């Protein structure tokens, strides 16, 4: 299979899908997914276990065949021409499946040679991989590269995968729950790496169910639920849709307020009220104007609250 | 037995059920067909006497079937032909069953899960043994049923079945011990298989070399012979397999109780300086992973080829009547009465061995996918066709290496004993293994592409079934077109017969077409997960 020169040399999107669906037997794992991740973006792909995150990534890599729709990496159809697509992509699987008899150093070499079988003349620098940066990563993640994979714990095997992917010069990093099995210190190291990747202009597609990670790293977030994208946008945009919390205490007893659209109220003390406000807080401020307000604090919803909002609202349960 | 150990034993038995049932079928069919075929081919005592005089005294045949104590009666003949061969199969079964129950679970990490619950190690060990014992019992029943249906008396059948099956628990003990010693499942299997090969070699020497009969007492396969079913039974010999099994299992249990879960007594180095050879492509890396296995195959094939070559020197047709020679020819073995004729006959077994090697390669490809390492590979800029094609090419090259080794070392063995035979002809005999193996490689690849989970079973099943079809069909006087369904029928028995180029070309062509179809299908399916 050869490179086809028909690909758009400057595609607008790093990752794009249109009407992407996948059915396994009776289960519809992915239902008409439309994604458009711009180049250089860090995109958080959120969803509980079984929502379809890994299925999406397998389709993006052309490992599974779409039942309908298309999946493209840098404008290249991943099913029709996986080799061309993969030249620009590095992938970290949710579980580290590597070769037990190879050491980490050998694994790095093997994966690097698969990316670029031809090496530049000095022999050390392989075309597809930044070997100097890889050494930095090995140091940062404190990996003993002389150890064989079979002797490594799951977390350490995950590091091997991560380092191999992060050290590539790939334009797109597809990361499927990359921090599973990492300890908190290593998670900090991972976050630094993602920030560095962004500075270098790499696109990061980060599938995760760790909300703090996504909140800290991602420019935009998509929330997947049972194979459908239920919400998407920057954190700011998502916050607009979810309720924000306003806590008010009063000098004296809490007053009776008229019912306001988009505002729910709860008594949290003899002279304290908590409001959950969807949309603008203007009407609430107006309603409070004539009352003896002692303190007023407002808090934007966390990503966790936004996330739970999507899973609690309609039928109340997160399904496996 | 407590409830938890009962549940564990049932689980272990169910895990191995496909293999157990396949073995049981094979045993039953083989046990049935030999006595039935013998009474059919040699109806009178006179026939049988002349058969014994020539055929059973043949050193060459003793190699495969063991020592014939009495081949004049149907029972004695069956004990010789079936007992000897199936004892080897029973040994393999014992090793496979023990390693599966005692080591595979552990390597997959499931044993930790079980031991983390309220199950003691002893309970888990005993439960595994119970599952293996149930499997052996099933084989015993299958043999018994086969013999009885084949026309042997009930009591004798039971004793013969016991003699053959007695090998299985001893080798289950060997497998159990190997499972404790080896650091991984794979090494445990290799140790166990090597033990089977070694004990078989002892039996072969004891049965063929003059003055070496005492060696028979050193191998469980020899004990099965010394039990002498239908030839002056010596039931006391049963004490030997009983004692050996008990000793081996006790030793394994002792090691198991003092060993860390997931490790072996023979430590494996877990750190190493990077070795950068054989990392340039997936096929190269696969060769790197398989080189130990390949070496074992090459050494095993070479050793057997050498010994068979040596033995061929003692084959002669002195005093064999024409009618008996015709009968022997009817057994599908060409002329067994000259060194070259004998070598031509044994190469059928090399063809079988190389074909089974091909099945193992299909199994390795399938395992790479089901262990999801293939997903890691194919996420790289690497085409699916390139990966599968590379694996098939590697298998084909390894097959060629095995075939040439078989030809070369038979020649060396034969020439060392003064047999005059051309090196070129023996290399040709070796190369003659390739067309059948390539046919099975292509068909196995196609099975892998279409139904990956069942691929191993289909490949092994196809090879075994077509081989038995060839072996049994000729005894049963089946119609010609039915017999010709098996590729083994279309192999020219080089060096006695000429190489059948047309048949070989057709087999290779079918193999290549199937492989191409496999590549096309594999390109279009989802990868499977565990």
What is the domain-level CATH number for residue A295? 3.30.70
Would you tell me the crossing angle of helices A104-115 and A154-166 to the nearest 10 degrees? 30
Contact A145 B274 (CB under 8 A): yes
Among candidates B269, B272, B379 on the partner chain, residue whose Cβ is nearest the Cβ of A61? B379
Among A237, A257, A282, identify where a domain stops: A237
> Domain check: are A249 and A224 in the same one?
no
Chain B: residue whose CA lies nearest to A57:
B379
pLDDT tens digits, residue range B290-347? 888 888 889 888 988 888 888 777 766 554 555 555 555 555 444 566 788 878 878 8
pTM: 0.78
Q: Are A213 and A281 in contact (CB under 8 A)?
A: no
Least Cα distance to B452 among B517, B384, B359, B370 occurs for B370
- The mean pLDDT value for B29-41 works out to 77
Does pLDDT of A51 surpass 70?
yes
Q: Provide the β-strand partners of residue A303.
A: none
Among A237, A258, A279, identify where a domain stops: A237
Question: Does residue A206 fall inside a structural domain?
Answer: yes
What does the pLDDT read at residue B345? Answer: 79
- The mean pLDDT value for B404-416 works out to 94
> Domain check: are A54 and A159 in the same one?
yes
Question: Does residue A197 fall inside a structural domain?
Answer: yes
Q: What angle do CA B210, B213, B218 make, to 5 degrees?
A: 140
Query: Nearest CA to CA, how far is A158 from chain B (Å)?
Result: 12
Question: Chain A partners of B370 at a C-beta cutoff of 8 Å?
Answer: none
Q: Provide the β-strand partners of residue A42.
A: A204
pLDDT tens digits, residue range B249-301? 999 888 877 776 666 666 667 788 888 888 888 999 999 888 888 888 898 88
> Residue holding tokens 């990747």?
A197
Contact A97 B376 (CB under 8 A): yes
Chain A: residue whose CA lies nearest to B275:
A106
- How far is it, in rounded angstroms, from Cα A306 to Cα A238? 7
pLDDT bucket at A316, cuts 50 / 70 / 90? very low
- The answer, for A239 touching chain B at a CB cutoff of 8 Å, is no
What number is the ipTM of this complex?
Answer: 0.80
Does pLDDT of B166 surpass 50?
yes
pLDDT tens digits, residue range A199-229? 999 999 999 888 888 888 999 999 998 899 9
Question: Does residue A121 fall inside a structural domain?
Answer: yes
- How far is it, in rounded angstroms, from Cα A287 to Cα B2? 72
Among candidates B280, B378, B384 on the partner chain, residue whose Cβ is nearest the Cβ of A113? B280
pLDDT tens digits, residue range A99-123? 988 999 999 999 998 887 555 444 4
Neighbours of B205 (CB within 10 A): 17
Among candidates A109, A150, A151 on the partner chain, residue whose Cβ is nearest the Cβ of B274? A109
> Domain check: are A216 and A267 in the same one?
no
Residues 6+ apart with CB under 8 A from A139: none
Structure tokens at B325: 């020679």
> Domain check: are A59 and A41 in the same one?
yes
Q: Provide the β-strand partners of residue A13.
A: A38
What does the pLDDT read at residue B492? Answer: 82
What does the pLDDT read at residue A161? Answer: 94
DSSP string, B219-238: SHHHHHHHT-TTSS--GGGG
Does pLDDT of A315 surpass 50?
no
Could you tell me which residue, B201 or B177, shows the higher pLDDT? B177
Among candidates A82, A83, A117 on the partner chain, residue whose Cβ is nearest the Cβ of B280? A117
Question: Chain B partners of A109 at a C-beta cutoff of 8 Å?
Answer: 274, 276, 279
Does pLDDT of A5 surpass 50?
no
Count of helix runs (H) and strand runs (E) in chain B: 24, 0
Q: How many residues are there in chain A?
A: 320
What does the pLDDT read at residue B60? Answer: 57
- The answer, for A50 touching chain B at a CB cutoff of 8 Å, is no
Does pLDDT of A59 surpass 80?
yes
The contact set of B with A (CB < 8 A) is: 184, 269-276, 279-282, 285, 288-289, 371-373, 375-386, 524-527
Least Cα distance to B296 among B353, B362, B216 occurs for B353
What does the pLDDT read at residue A120? Answer: 46
> Domain check: are A261 and A221 in the same one?
no
- How far is it, in rounded angstroms, from Cα A27 to Cα B118? 36
Question: Chain A partners of B281 at a C-beta cutoff of 8 Å?
Answer: 113-114, 117
pLDDT bucket at A312, cuts 50 / 70 / 90? low
- The answer, for A300 touching chain B at a CB cutoff of 8 Å, is no
pLDDT bucket at B53, cuts 50 / 70 / 90? low
pLDDT tens digits, residue range B361-381? 998 899 899 888 999 999 999
Contact B379 A89 (CB under 8 A): yes
- The answer, for A54 touching chain B at a CB cutoff of 8 Å, is no
Q: What angle do CA A125, A129, A132 make, to 5 degrees?
A: 60
> Domain check: are A66 and A177 in the same one?
yes
> Domain check: are A131 and A265 in the same one?
no
Interface of A with B in 133-152 (CB under 8 A): 144-148, 150-151
Q: Are A64 and B526 in contact (CB under 8 A)?
A: yes
Question: Does residue A94 fall inside a structural domain?
Answer: yes
> Domain check: are A98 and A200 in the same one?
yes
- How far is it, in rounded angstroms, from Cα B60 to Cα B74? 21
Q: How many residues are there in chain B?
A: 530
Q: Provide the β-strand partners of residue A299.
A: A245
Q: Which segment of A158-167, B56-65, B185-194, B456-465 scores lowest on mean pLDDT? A: B56-65
> Residue B269, class by beta-carbon neighbours within 10 Å (0-12 exposed, 13-18 middle, 19+ buried)?
exposed
> Domain check: are A219 and A263 in the same one?
no
What does the pLDDT read at residue B470? Answer: 78
What does the pLDDT read at residue A3? Answer: 44
Does pLDDT of A169 surpass 90?
no
- How far is it, in rounded angstroms, from Cα B466 to Cα B507? 14
| Element at A22 (helix H, strand E) | strand A13-24
Question: Does residue A6 fall inside a structural domain?
Answer: no
Least Cα distance to B392 among B465, B295, B488, B287 occurs for B287
Question: Does residue A318 fall inside a structural domain?
Answer: no
Q: Are B87 and B44 in contact (CB under 8 A)?
A: no
DSSP string, A263-288: EEEEEEETTEEEEEE-S-SHHHHHHH
Question: Chain A partners of B285 at a C-beta cutoff of 8 Å?
Answer: 99, 102, 110
What does the pLDDT read at residue B57? Answer: 60
Average pLDDT, chain B: 84
Query: Nearest CA to CA, how far is B288 from chain A (Å)?
Result: 9
> Domain check: are A265 and A166 in the same one?
no
Query: B231-245 burial, b if ≥16 CB within 10 A, otherwise e?
Result: bebeeebbebbeebb
Give the pairing type, strands A13-24 and A293-299.
unpaired
- The edge-to-edge listing of strands for the beta sheet with A228-233 is A89-92, A172-176, A203-208, A42-46, A220-225, A228-233
Question: Does residue A136 fall inside a structural domain?
Answer: yes
pLDDT tens digits, residue range A129-149? 888 999 999 999 999 999 999
The SS3 of residue A311 is helix
What does the pLDDT read at residue A207? Answer: 94
Chain B: residue whose CA lies nearest to A104:
B274
Among A205, A220, A237, identify where a domain stops: A237
Query: Nearest CA to CA, how far is A185 from chain B (Å)?
Result: 25
Question: Does residue A154 fall inside a structural domain?
Answer: yes
Does pLDDT of B413 surpass 80?
yes
Percent of chain B with pLDDT over 90: 35
Q: Which domain does A21 fall in, by range?
A: 13-237
Contact A93 B527 (CB under 8 A): no
pLDDT tens digits, residue range A239-276? 766 678 888 999 888 888 888 888 888 888 888 999 88
What does the pLDDT read at residue B490? Answer: 87
Number of domains in chain A: 2
Question: Chain A partners of B524 at a C-beta cutoff of 8 Å?
Answer: 65
**Which CATH number covers residue A109?**
3.40.50.300
Q: Provide the β-strand partners of residue A150.
A: none
* A-B C-beta contacts closer than 8 Å: 96
> Domain check: are A93 and A53 in the same one?
yes
- How far is it, in rounded angstroms, from Cα B445 to Cα B359? 9
Q: Are A88 and A174 in contact (CB under 8 A)?
A: no
Least Cα distance to B338 among B322, B315, B319, B320 occurs for B315
pLDDT bucket at B139, cuts 50 / 70 / 90? very high
> Domain check: are A97 and A165 in the same one?
yes
Among candidates B280, B379, B383 on the partner chain, residue whose Cβ is nearest the Cβ of A91? B379
Among candidates B271, B376, B381 on the partner chain, residue whose Cβ is nearest the Cβ of A87? B381
Chosen from A62, A66, A82 to mutate, greatest number of chain B CBs within 10 A: A82
Give the pairing type, strands A203-208 and A42-46.
parallel
């Amino acid at each position: 299979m050869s490179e086809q020169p028909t690909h758009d040399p400057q595609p607008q999107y790093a990752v794009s899908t249109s009407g992407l669906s996948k059915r396994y037997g009776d289960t519809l794992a992915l239902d008409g997914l439309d994604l458009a991740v711009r180049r250089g973006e860090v995109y958080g792909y959120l969803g509980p276990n079984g929502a379809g995150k890994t299925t999406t990534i397998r389709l993006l890599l052309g490992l599974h065949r779409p039942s309908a729709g298309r999946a493209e990496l840098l404008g290249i159809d991943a099913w029709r021409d996986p080799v061309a697509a993969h030249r620009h992509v590095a992938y970290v699987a949710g579980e580290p499946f590597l070769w037990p008899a190879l050491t980490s150093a050998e694994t790095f070499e093997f994966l690097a040679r698969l990316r670029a079988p031809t090496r530049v003349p000095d022999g050390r620098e392989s075309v597809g991989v930044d070997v100097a940066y890889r050494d930095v990563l090995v140091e940062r993640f404190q990996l003993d590269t002389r150890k064989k994979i079979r002797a490594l714990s799951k977390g350490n095997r995950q590091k091997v995968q991560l380092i191999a992917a992060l050290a590539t010069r790939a334009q797109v990093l597809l990361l499927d729950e990359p921090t599973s099995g990492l300890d908190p210190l290593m998670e900090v190291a991972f976050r630094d790496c993602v920030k560095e990747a962004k500075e270098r202009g790499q696109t990061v597609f980060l599938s995760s169910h760790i909300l703090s990670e996504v909140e800290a790293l991602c420019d935009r977030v998509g929330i997947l639920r049972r194979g459908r994208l239920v919400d998407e946008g920057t954190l700011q945009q998502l916050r607009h849709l979810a309720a924000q919390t306003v806590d008010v205490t009063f000098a004296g007893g809490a007053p009776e307020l008229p019912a306001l659209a988009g505002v729910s109220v709860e008594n949290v003390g003899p002279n304290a009220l908590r409001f959950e406000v969807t949309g603008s807080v203007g009407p609430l401020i107006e309603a409070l104007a004539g009352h003896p307000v002692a303190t007023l604090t407002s808090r934007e919803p966390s990503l966790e609250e936004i996330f739970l909002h999507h899973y609690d609202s309609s039928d109340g349960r997160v399904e496996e | 037995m407590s409830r938890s150990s009962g549940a564990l034993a049932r689980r272990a038995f169910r895990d191995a059920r496909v293999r157990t049932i396949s073995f049981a079928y094979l045993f039953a069919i083989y046990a049935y067909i030999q006595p039935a075929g013998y009474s059919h081919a040699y109806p009178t005592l006179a026939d049988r006497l002349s058969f014994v005089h020539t055929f059973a005294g043949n050193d060459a045949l003793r190699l495969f079937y063991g020592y014939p104590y009495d081949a004049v009666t149907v029972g004695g003949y069956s004990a010789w032909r079936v007992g000897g061969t199936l004892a080897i199969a029973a040994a393999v079964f014992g090793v496979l069953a023990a390693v599966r129950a005692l080591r595979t679970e552990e390597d997959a990490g499931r044993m930790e899960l079980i031991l983390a619950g309220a199950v003691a190690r002893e309970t888990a060990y005993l439960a595994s043994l119970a599952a293996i014992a149930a499997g052996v019992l099933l084989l015993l029943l299958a043999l018994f049923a086969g013999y009885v249906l084949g026309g042997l008396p009930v009591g004798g059948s039971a004793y013969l079945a016991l003699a053959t099956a007695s090998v299985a628990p001893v080798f289950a003990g060997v497998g159990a011990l190997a499972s404790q010693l080896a650091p991984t499942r794979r090494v445990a299997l290799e140790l166990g298989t090597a033990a089977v090969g070694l004990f078989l070699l002892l039996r072969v020497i004891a049965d063929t070399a003059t003055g070496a009969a005492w060696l028979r007492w050193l191998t469980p396969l020899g004990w099965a012979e010394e039990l002498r079913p239908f030839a002056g039974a010596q039931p006391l010999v049963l004490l030997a397999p009983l004692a050996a099994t008990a000793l081996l299992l006790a030793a394994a249990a002792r090691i198991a109780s003092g060993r860390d879960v997931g490790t072996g007594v023979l430590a494996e180095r877990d750190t190493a300086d990077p070795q950068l050879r054989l990392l340039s492509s997936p096929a190269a890396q696969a060769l790197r992973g398989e080189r130990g296995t390949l070496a074992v195959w090459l050494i095993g094939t070479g050793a057997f080829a050498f010994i068979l070559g040596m033995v061929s020197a003692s084959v002669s047709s002195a005093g064999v009547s024409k009618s008996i020679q015709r009968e022997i020819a009817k057994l599908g073995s060409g002329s067994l009465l000259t060194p070259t004729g004998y070598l031509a006959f044994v190469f059928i077994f090399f063809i079988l061995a190389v074909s089974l090697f091909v099945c193992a390669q299909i199994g390795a490809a399938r395992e790479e996918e089901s262990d999801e390492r293939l997903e890691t590979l194919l996420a790289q800029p690497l085409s699916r066709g390139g990966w599968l094609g590379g694996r098939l090419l590697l298998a084909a090259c390894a097959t060629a290496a095995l075939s040439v080794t078989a030809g070369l070392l038979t020649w060396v063995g034969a020439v060392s004993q003064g047999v005059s035979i051309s090196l070129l002809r023996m290399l040709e005999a070796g190369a003659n293994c390739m067309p059948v193996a390539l046919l099975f490689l292509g068909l196995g690849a196609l099975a892998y592409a279409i139904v990956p989970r069942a691929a191993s079973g289909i490949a092994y099943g196809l090879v075994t079934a077509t081989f038995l079809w060839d072996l049994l069909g000729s005894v049963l006087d089946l119609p010609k077109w039915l017999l010709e369904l098996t590729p083994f029928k279309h192999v020219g028995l080089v060096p006695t017969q000429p190489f059948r180029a047309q048949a070989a070309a057709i087999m290779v062509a079918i193999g290549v077409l199937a492989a191409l179809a496999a590549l096309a299908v594999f390109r279009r399916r989802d990868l499977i997960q565990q």
